[in-house]
Amino acid sequence: MELKDYQADVLTDLSKYLETLLECKGHLFNAFAKYWKDRGVLNQAYKNNIKEVPHVCVKVPTAGGKTFIAVNALDRIFSAFAEYNPTRPKFVVWLVPSLTILEQTVKNLSNIDHPYRQRLNDLFSGRVQIYEKADVLQGAGFNADTVKEQLSVVVMSFDSLKANNKENRKAFQENGYLASFLNDEGEVVDPLEGTDPSALINVMRTLKPIVVVDESHNAESTLSVDMLRNINPSFIFDLTATPRDNSNIISYVDALRLKKQNMVKLPVIVANQRSQEDVIMAALNMRRQLEEFAKKAEEKGGGYIRPIVLFQAEPKNKDDTTTFEKVREILLELNIPKEHIAIKTANINELKNVDLMSRDCHVRYIITVNALKEGWDCPFAYVLATLANKSSVVDVTQILGRVLRMPYTRKHSIELLNLSYVFTSSSHFQNTLSQVVVGLNKAGFSKRDYREFDLSAIEQEQDPAPSQTQGQLNLTAQTGEEKPAETGAGQDLEIEKSKLNPDWEQQAVEQAAIAPNGDQPASTGNDASGVEAIKNQAAEQAKEFEEQANATSGEAVPEELKAHMNEHKMKQKFEESAKAIQLPQFFIKLPSDGGFFDGGDEWHKLAKENLLSNFVLANLDATINFTAIESDVYKVDAEEIGNGESAPSFTVVKKAEKEKLNSIIKSQPTSGQITSIVGRLFSLIGKNTFYPIEDNDVKHYLKRIVEAMNADLRADCLERDYDYVKLIKAKIQSLANEYAAKEFGNWLTTQKIKLRPSFSLPATIAPSENAPAISKSLYVTEGSVNNLESKVIRGVAELENIVWWHRNLERGKGFLLNGFLNHYPDFIVLTESKNIIVVETKGDDRDNSDSKDKLKLGKIWESQANQIAHETGYRYHYMMVFESNPIDGAHTTGDVLKLIEAM
């Protein structure tokens, strides 16, 4: 199971946050503000829910694969802090909101054939154990030794750590099964007041777990926050589609990205029928046609799909199931087999132990109210048919998310199988739509993700207004905040059976054969429920929605934060000249996948990883001079930040703990010492750090380094492991850079790499900090500049032949000179004679160790770019500017200004 692109982006966001947190020495407020400031978003304040504990959230809509994201996140979180405490147990408390979700999570994480568990095994070398609360209470495979050797994940419900009943209080009571943790010589943590040190809650406190909070919007009460504080977490990772106001969100996923990856059935087609009878007939007809379409798709190689209708009934009161039985009775009278129908409410569960995805399952109709909010899920659910009284406003807020998940997360050949449907009959349709919007919001979606179709309005002869189903849809901003009309609770279900068509199934099969994808008109003479009109419109709107989804690129900053962005527009007078430019970047010719519609080899933007595809460390120089190491001194304390609050200072492991571990390693024979030191060094380096260099290749290289050490050097390495790792990483990076540069030259010669016009200057920029006003800037305000950069660009701006200049942004926002290294030059300048000059400044106070490589790459880019100058109409130049003492091929400020003035 591979990560979807948006899931990979979420994990990249998490890694960037962790890097920023460590860079800020664990200062929670500074790290969160800096993380967003680096992305051009200002004034983002951290909510310190639990003092000294990093607590962050990712917003992912329903069906976005939050569990898989969390599975992959664990390794990144543990790896980020490994250098500070290599002996720390990998202990996780995974909290879920309901017993249903708990059962699903435990089942999936425990099943060695499930992708979630397979991924955990890959990340943690197969050393993984999943527990439930009962397991750890009884010490079943859970003791002080096992947690040191594996990833231990305890899946629990939110309520199970709240001492509000006899069962839950067991976690706070003396427990002889957990006595091994009392004898362990790890860090001592004070037990909760009034509890025994052997209680499960105190064992968790000692282990300082990483806490994953699934559906975290359900865990924001004071009691829930107290519960989180009680288990003494070291990191809290929230996942939800609807974050609360006190969430520290570090990543947002847009619904269109889920659609682009075929994760959801969008848009939702909301059709308002004339009557409850029409709702029933439309639901039956649509479901039957979808089943015919699914059979056709399966014949063409698609997966098995058995579309399901959710009938949302209204009980007369909380305990009365009369309405459910009436719906079942109606369906049976319409010749639907009894085994095709199931009831799922708070008190009746005919879906227990039923696998709705199995071919052996016959269920096609599920009758419910709102009980489906309890974790029930099935991608085969396509139609939500609500049988509320016509004067009611339909409350679909809790159930709508159940019909959104796409079967098999892939696009199906018949377009109508890629959508979901809501059928209702309400005289308050706009209010009902507001409930649909609220339901979409609860699933992490928005008002743009549905399309309305009001059959009731079409036949109102006294309403001359054009139907909203024609032309541009009027999707007004329904907030769901207006007071809804009476919901009709207590109204009995009244169906005129004479208005039901007993031949509905034959009609549906015939219509499916006539218009298999809603793309050609079918006879509507017997189409009282309007299904054919709905199909035709749905197919058109699906295409439009998909075009929007395909056009989305996953902006780094979501709509929710646009108001906080430090955003600046391109000056109007420069727009024409700037938008005409596409700066050349290097592309590589890669073989295609050989598909049936394959058009041959394709050109892809070059990444440094391409150049390292055949790089191996075996037999390369492993000699490193460790004698010049200057070790930093770390304190173990909490950094005061004022107002009585503190943030954790991320520090090396406590001296006593490290000395104990080192003593054990030193007592081993030489071969054992080498193995232990290699293991520690690799854990500090981290997995996939040098991708695409294989981790095993890195381990073998480390072994060669350690084998060359004498006893004194090995002992010193144990004491100053992090300092040794920095030198080793620099050595590996140097070898990789050397290899990449050689490959780059070879591939240019063989034309496997070439420059192509690529990068366009954006309409707006969002720098982390602003530069002072300098004339001829391309944007109203540019990104910040240091003293040397200011001196250079002010001199450039004063030249008469300059049209505009731009401060190039880094961190993936600006123009990347991609080659054997990734280089974001400082400035882009345009002259009146169509010279484009890329400028890199170098101050004498900087570490300019990479200057030669950057200059080399820049000059190659300049030469190659000018070979395609006839195609673009521009001349290209790369200039490196030093404050003084330039390297060969670079310039001083005065020299470069003279050169630019002459262009």
d(CA 328, CA 325): 5
Least confident interval from 343-352, 704-713, 741-750, 777-786: 343-352
What 3-state DSSP class applies to 869?
helix
- The pLDDT tens digits for 91-102 are 999 999 888 788
- Fill in the amino acid letter for 523: S
Q: Give residue 830's pLDDT.
A: 97
Q: Return contacts of 187-195, CB within 8 angstroms, 24+ apart.
A: 187/654, 187/657, 189/232, 192/230
Q: Give the confidence band of 16 by pLDDT, cuts at 50, 70, 90.
A: very high
Q: How confident is the model at residue 521 (pLDDT cuts 50, 70, 90)?
A: very low
Name the pLDDT band for 527 (thresholds 50, 70, 90): low
> CA nearest 444: which of 219, 237, 259?
259
Q: Return the minimum-mean-pLDDT range out of 354-363, 452-461, 517-526, 714-723.
A: 517-526
Rounded-to-integer distance, Cα 872 and Cα 756, Å: 10
For 406-432, what is the mean pLDDT? 83
Q: Taking residues 859-881, what's their average pLDDT?
A: 93
Q: Does domain 5-254 have CATH number 3.30.110?
A: no
**DSSP letter for each residue of 562-611:** GGGB--EEBPGGGHHHHHT--EEEEEEEE-----TT--S-EEEE--HHHH
Region 147-165: what's the mean pLDDT?
85
Q: 278: helix, coil or strand?
A: helix
Which range is most confident: 179-193, 361-375, 637-651, 759-773?
759-773
Average of per-residue pLDDT values in the chain: 82
pLDDT of amino acid 596: 35
Confidence band for 67, pLDDT divided at 50, 70 and 90: very high
Alpha helices by DSSP H, 762-882 = 787-797, 851-867, 869-872
Q: What pLDDT score does 42 carry?
A: 87
Distance between CA atoms of 862 and 384, rounded to whole angstroms?
Answer: 60
**What's the pLDDT score for residue 380?**
93
Instruction: Tell me the pLDDT tens digit for each residue of 290-303.
Output: 999 999 999 988 89
What 3-state class would DSSP assign to 370? coil
Q: Is the pLDDT of residue 703 over 60?
A: yes
- pLDDT at residue number 472: 29
Q: How far is CA 535 from CA 166, 407, 527, 586, 881, in A?
A: 55, 20, 12, 46, 64
Residues 553-583 have pLDDT tens digits of 666 567 777 778 888 999 999 999 999 999 9
Write the pLDDT tens digit of every residue in 629-679: 665 444 434 444 444 454 554 554 556 666 777 888 888 899 989 998 998
pLDDT attached to residue 601: 53
Distance between CA atoms of residues 555 and 795, nearest Å: 35
The whole-number pLDDT of residue 452 equals: 77
Tokens found for residue 22: 């460590």
Mean pLDDT, residues 128-135: 93
Helices 66-82 and 5-23: crossing angle in degrees, nearest 10, is 30
Q: Are the C-beta atoms of 717 and 709 separated by less than 8 Å? A: yes
Q: Is 3.40.720.10 the CATH number for 262-551?
A: no
For residue 212, pLDDT over 90 is answered with yes
Most confident of 340-344, 430-434, 482-486: 340-344
pLDDT band at 442 (very low <50, low <70, confident <90, very high): confident
Helix (H/G/I), strand (E/B), else coil: 734: helix
Q: Give buried/exposed letters for 468-478 (b at 16+ CB in 10 A, else e).
A: bbeeebebeeb
pLDDT: which is higher, 314 or 753? 753
- Residue 521 one-letter amino acid: P
pLDDT-derived band of residue 479, with 50, 70 and 90 as boundaries? very low
**Are the C-beta atoms of residues 647 and 32 closer than 8 Å to each other?**
no
* Distances 681 to 77, 232, 249, 431, 707 between C-alpha atoms, Å: 18, 28, 33, 61, 13
Q: Where are the strands (E) in 718-834, listed by range?
A: 753-759, 764-765, 802-807, 817-818, 822-823, 827-831
Cα 101 to Cα 375: distance, rounded to the nearest angstrom? 5
| pLDDT single digits (tens) 223-273 | 678 888 889 999 999 998 888 888 899 998 888 888 888 888 888 888 888
3-class DSSP state of 514: helix
**Measuring CA to CA, how many Å separate 334 from each of 327, 499, 699, 766?**
11, 12, 68, 61
Token pair listed for 319: 């305990």
Alpha carbon distance 669, 233 (integer Å): 37
- The pLDDT, as a whole number, for residue 575 is 94
Q: Would you place residue 487 in the very low, low, confident or very high pLDDT band (cuts 50, 70, 90)? A: very low
User: Count of CB atoms within 10 A of residue 783's CB?
Assistant: 24
Answer yes or no: is pLDDT of 170 > 70: yes
Cα 459 to Cα 453, 463, 466, 630: the distances in Å are: 12, 8, 11, 83
Over residues 382-406, the mean pLDDT reads: 74
Contact 817, 864 (CB under 8 A): no
Rounded CA-CA distance 280/506 in Å is 16
Say what the pLDDT of residue 697 is: 94
DSSP3 helix / strand / coil % (the chain, rounded to 5): 40, 15, 45
Hey, which bits of 86-223 come out as E strands?
90-96, 128-132, 151-157, 210-214
What residues pair up with 379 in beta bridges, in sequence order? none
Domain chopping of the chain, boundaries: 5-254, 262-551, 638-741, 760-901
For the whole prediction, is pTM greater than 0.85?
A: no
Mean of pLDDT values over 828-851: 86
Q: Model confidence at 114, in pLDDT bands (50, 70, 90)? A: very high
69-89 average pLDDT score: 85
468 falls in which pLDDT band (50, 70, 90)? very low
Q: Please report the pLDDT score of residue 795 as a whole number.
A: 95
- The answer on pLDDT for 466 being more than 50 is no
Question: Model confidence at 875, in pLDDT bands (50, 70, 90)?
Answer: very high
Tell me whether domains 5-254 and 262-551 share a fold: yes
Phi and psi based region of residue 885 (left: phi greater than 0; alpha: psi -120 to 50; beta: remaining) = left
For the chain, the distance separating the N- and C-terminal CA atoms, rounded to the nearest angstrom, is 54
pLDDT tens column, 303-320: 999 999 999 876 555 544
Distance CA 426, CA 432 (A): 7
State the helix-helix crossing angle for 66-82 and 670-685, rounded to 10 degrees: 120
